[in-house]
Amino acid sequence: MFKPDKLQQRIVDSIREFVEREVIPVASRLEQQDEYPHEIVERMKDLGLFGCNVPEEFGGLGLSYSTYAMIVEELSRGWMSTVGPIGTHSVICDIISRFGTEEQKREFLPGLAAGERRGGLALSEADAGTDVQRISTVAVRSGDGYLINGSKMWITNGRYGNTYVLAAKTDPKADPPYKGISAFIIEKGGEGFKVARDIDKLGYRGVETCELYFDNFYVPARNLIGGVEGQGFKHVMTGLESERINVAARGVGLARAAFEDGIHYAQQRRTFGKPICEHQTIQIMLAEMGTRIEAARLLVYSAAEKKDNGERCDVEAGMAKLFATDTAQDVALLSLKIHGGAGYSKDLPVERYYRDAPLLTIGGGTNELQRLIIARGLIARYPVK
């Protein structure tokens, strides 16, 4: 069984205390009102959470992916939407840290670490989500920069963020298409950048998810990540490894919240003269929930450890994301069933878990895609001799 070291445990304890004191008491109200958690985000800035994976030399905490996964789990246990402002923000920090030029790192990472810059990933489009290489947003060279034309969907931090990593085609005729994708650091503002709308969602409320439009939006050439065209697909895919670990950790946190609510309710609710936790059917549900959560957590730590060691972890991240998010969805439903009619009302948080969980099986690459990634990786690892 994975056991955090003393530093990790202190960090986890502090985040758990923050969640218990400042997140859980207001989560249901903010979620039902679809209100952005400004005060919570400010406290997260004070805690340094926007700089979790930014190297210390640029003002960040320089935490391992394993520690970051623990933080995400605790935040998600309180309210999954609190992870939104730092989720894709951390992905672009990862991309810039790994692939940015020294000038780009110096210019952008300190502000991102401090939370003064709020980051997002401008990747998905209306006709290109899972199939990233089919994006249609283009970047055409113009003088000392590029003109961006196109649109992006499902952009977390689209309304309150200000700094994004954007994927666009610099060579639309490239074959295969992914070789024509480049990644840029873009900043909100300037002519041709428009936040079109906030998307109304079933769950994951309180955190904004937006559609962005670009009409001859100018980006300086110095903002081309790494200074080289055609490398954007690699940049984004590497960043998505960390996002999948992040989403998997969210799944563990949400599943934990649903399980804890369910097992506590089962000990308090009585039917036929005894607590329902003494009924065999409920016991089977609880055993299934607890076992799957523990397995999901170990998969997340396994993927995070490989990422910490600089190893390729697309298969492990895919496994963790697949299993943990499916677990979150299943555990949320089982917890709702344990609560009975009370679980279907908005009086208790369990209905929120049930609405939030499906997004985890979609975001960061659908779970159907994860199965293909895992299968291809396993085939490559076990060739016929």
CB 55 within 8 A of CB 98: no
**103 noted as active-site residue:** no
Residue 279 per-residue DSSP state: S
Distance CA 364, CA 381 (A): 24
The sign of the torsion formed by the CA atoms of 335, 337, 342, 343 equals positive
What pairs with residue 139 in β-bridges? Answer: 148
CB 137 within 8 A of CB 193: no
Torsion of CA 246, 251, 257, 260, to 10 degrees: -120
Q: E strand or H helix at 99, and its extent?
A: helix 84-99
CB 338 within 8 A of CB 324: no
The count of other CB atoms within 10 Å of the CB of residue 228 is 12
Q: Is 306 left (phi over 0), alpha (psi -120 to 50) or beta?
A: alpha
Active-site option among 74, 211, 243, 316: 243
Q: What are phi and psi of 96, to 5 degrees?
A: -65, -40
Half-sphere exposure of residue 132, counting CA atoms within 13 Å on the CB side? 24
Helix (H, G, I), strand (E, B) or coil at 271: strand
For the purposes of burial, counting CB atoms within 10 Å of the CB of 367, is it exposed (0-12), middle (13-18) or buried (19 or more)?
A: middle
Helices (runs of H) and strands (runs of E) counted in the chain: 12, 9
Please identify every residue annotated as catalytic.
243
